[in-house]
Structure 1
Amino acid sequence: MKKVNIGGVPEHFNLAWYLTLKDGEYKEKGINLRWHDYPGGTGAMCKGLRNGDIDVAVILTEGIIKDIIAGNPSKIVQTFVQTPLIWGVHVGHDSPYKTIEDLKGTKAAISRYGSGSHLMAYIHAENNNWDLEKDLDFEVIKDLDGAVKGLTEGDADYFLWEKFTTKPLVDSGVFRRIDDCPSPWPCFVIAVREDFIASNKDHLQTILEIINNTTQEFKDIPSIDKTIANRYKQQLDDVQEWLGITEWSQELIDKGTIMNVQKELFALDIIPEIVDYERLTCKL
Structure 2
Amino acid sequence: MKTIKIGGVPEHFNLAWYLTLKNGEYKKEGINLRWKDYFGGTGDMCKALRNKDIDLAVILTEGIVKDIVGGNPSSIIQTFVQTPLIWGIHVANTSHYQTIESLQGSNAAISRYGSGSHLMAYINAQNNGWNLDADLNFKVVKNIDGAVEALTNNEADYFMWEKFMTKPIVDNGVFRRIGNCPTPWPCFVIAVRDEFLEENKEAVKTILNIINSTTSRFKEIPNIDVDIAKRYNLKIDDVKEWLSLTEWSQEVIDEKTINNVQEQLFALNIISEKIAYNDLVVKL
TM range (shorter): over 0.9
Offset, 1:105: 0.4
Aligned residues: 284
Give deviations 1:1-52, integer Å, cap 9, x for gaps.
0000000000000000000000000000000000000010000000000000
Distance 1:146 1:273 in 2: 32
Residue 159 of structure 2 is matched in structure 1 by: 159
Offset, 1:236: 0.3
1:179 and 2:179 are equivalent in the alignment: yes
Give deviations 1:110-148, integer Å, cap 9, x for gaps.
000111000000000000111111111000000000000
Residue 9 of structure 1 is matched in structure 2 by: 9
Offset, 1:101: 1.6
What runs of 5+ residues in structure 1 fail to find an aligned partner?
none
Offset, 1:277: 0.1
Offset, 1:102: 1.3
Q: Which contiguous aligned blocks of 4+ residues in structure 1 show a shift greater than 4 angstroms?
A: none
Give deviations 1:134-188, integer Å, cap 9, x for gaps.
1110000000000000000011000000000100000000100000000000000
Distance 2:263 2:68 in 1: 15
SS at match of 1:164: helix
SS at match of 2:95: coil
SS at match of 1:247: coil
Residue 47 of structure 2 is matched in structure 1 by: 47
Distance 2:232 2:40 in 1: 17
Distance 2:96 2:72 in 1: 40
SS at match of 1:138: strand
Residue 217 of structure 1 is matched in structure 2 by: 217
Distance 1:167 1:267 in 2: 31
Residue 232 of structure 1 is matched in structure 2 by: 232
Residue 274 of structure 1 is matched in structure 2 by: 274
> What is the TM-score when the length of structure 2 is the normalising length?
1.00
Distance 1:70 1:190 in 2: 18
1:260 and 2:260 are equivalent in the alignment: yes
After the TM superposition, which residues 88-167 of structure 1 pair with which residues of structure 2 at under 5 Å, given as runs? 88-167=88-167
What runs of 5+ residues in structure 2 fail to find an aligned partner?
none
Which amino acid counterpart does residue 160 of structure 1 have in structure 2? M
- Of 96-105 and 34-43, the range deviating more from structure 2: 96-105
Distance 2:230 2:174 in 1: 20
Distance 2:268 2:223 in 1: 42
Residue 203 of structure 2 is matched in structure 1 by: 203
Distance 2:61 2:123 in 1: 14
Which amino acid counterpart does residue 175 of structure 1 have in structure 2? F
Which amino acid counterpart does residue 120 of structure 1 have in structure 2? M
Distance 2:204 2:270 in 1: 31
Residue 63 of structure 2 is matched in structure 1 by: 63
Distance 1:126 1:197 in 2: 36
> What is the TM-score when the length of structure 1 is the normalising length?
1.00
CA RMSD in angstroms, aligned pairs only = 0.4
Distance 1:133 1:208 in 2: 41
Residue 29 of structure 1 is matched in structure 2 by: 29
Which amino acid counterpart does residue 14 of structure 1 have in structure 2? N
Distance 2:123 2:101 in 1: 15
SS at match of 1:32: strand
SS at match of 2:26: helix
